[in-house]
Amino acid sequence: MPAPLKRYFTTLFLFTAMAFNATETAALAFAPSDEPTQAHPAVVRVGILIRNIIDIDDVNENWEISGLLIASWIDRSLRFRAGARSHVYRGLSAGMWKPDFEFTNEERPTTFRFVDLYAEPDGTIVYTQMFSATLSSSLNLRRFPFDSQVLPVVVQASGDDLDRTILRPDSQDSALSNRSYAGVSQWSPVSLTENLGTVVGSASAAKDVEFGLKVRRNPRSYVLKFIVPLLLLVIISWITFWLSHEEFKTKDQLQSAVSTLLIVVAFNITATNILPRTEYITYIDALLFVCFIFVMISIGTIVVTHLLQIKKSEQRALKVRRLAGVILPLAFLIAQIILFFGFRIVG
């Protein structure tokens, strides 16, 4: 073949190849993919990246988070060959089909914001949305304030996509931010799990993806500001049994114990405004009740010693005081151990 003709065919081949490649790229960037149908549903894997836990409300049993919802599915018509110099993914038109999602346990409509939509060489389409959501949760506060909670994030397809998609959890695209701002003041994120559930009321038994965010409460604030002062108030009611009965008469003992009782009652009234209101007994509720009972026992013991003194039974009254000074602290310590571990097991 003559050299000029050979150069002509070589140039023509190169231009044809470049035009084909440009056409293929344009098709990947703008051509919409075929929508799935109920007869041929798309298998969509769903993952979630929790960036920030904004708030956890014990009273209203809800919580607020922000993060990324990541969905991926395969469309073999969008496969392409990634060359040595080409990108490992290609952007897609935002107008092509992509599944719509909603959170089943949302308290108000969730705000979703489009982030990215692209295809990988094997035809995997990745769709990412940013969201801010307020979700409801049934909290188990029996161990409060030594409790941990599993907060649910239930994702399902919405509208027509409910019956033409098959959702699967994606552990690879699910993560929990380890940044310092990811938690809230009283809670620390621990782990994130994912499970497959069934959409309630779905005629076709459609599936949803249920993520579980485990968080643990930091009890330090409640221990220092609530539990320790309450225990000290009970101990104050026993001081009268440890002092000399000659210098601390029963009248003074009774006055001191009643004052302690009134402080415990006021403490209880104040606590009801800051503690969660539940239909069951929490550890804090039981602690308040036990402290109240032991202060009442102290008052009853002082009354008994006073009656014995009136009857001229000084020795018996002194014996009762000494026994109360030993038995009450031991009984209170045992009660607290039973209380703590009892709620830890039951809770």
Q: What percent of the chain has pLDDT over 70?
A: 83
Mean pLDDT for all residues in the chain = 82
Domain annotation covers residue 265: yes
Picking from 218, 253, 277, the residue at the C-terminal end of a domain is 218
What's the length of the chain?
347
Picking from 169, 194, 218, the residue at the C-terminal end of a domain is 218
Write the pLDDT tens digit of every residue in 159-217: 889 889 999 999 998 998 877 766 677 888 899 999 998 887 776 778 899 999 999 99
| Beta-strand relationship, 42-57 and 165-169 | parallel
| Beta-strand relationship, 42-57 and 90-91 | unpaired
Retrieve residue 332's tokens.
Answer: 């209170």
Retrieve residue 8's tokens.
Answer: 């002509």
100 pLDDT tier (thresholds 50, 70, 90): very high
**Cα–Cα distance list, 22 to 87, 263, 283 (Å):** 14, 82, 68
347 pLDDT tier (thresholds 50, 70, 90): low
Residue 85: the pLDDT is 57
Specify whether 149 is located in the same domain as 184: yes
Residue 317 belongs to a domain with what CATH number? 1.20.58.390
Specify whether 208 is located in the same domain as 258: no
Specify whether 44 is located in the same domain as 149: yes
Residue 114 belongs to a domain with what CATH number? 2.70.170.10
Host domain of residue 240: 221-346
Residue 346: the pLDDT is 73
The helix or strand, by DSSP H or E, that contains position 340, with its residue range, turns out to be helix 314-346
Q: Are 115 and 91 in contact (CB under 8 A)?
A: no
pTM: 0.75
Residue 32: the pLDDT is 45
Phi/psi of residue 88, nearest 5 degrees: -85, 0
Picking from 189, 218, 247, the residue at the C-terminal end of a domain is 218
Domain annotation covers residue 325: yes
Residue 59: the pLDDT is 80
**How many domains would you assign to the chain?**
2
The helix or strand, by DSSP H or E, that contains position 213, with its residue range, turns out to be strand 207-217
Residue 248's Cβ-count burial label (10 Å; 0-12, 13-18, 19+) is middle
pLDDT of residue 322 exceeding 90, the answer is no
Helix (H), strand (E), coil (C) string for 186-235: CEEEEEEEEEEEECCCCCCCCEEEEEEEEEEECCHHHHHHHHHHHHHHHH
CA distance 71 to 65: 18
Phi/psi of residue 333, nearest 5 degrees: -65, -45
pLDDT of residue 30 exceeding 70, the answer is no
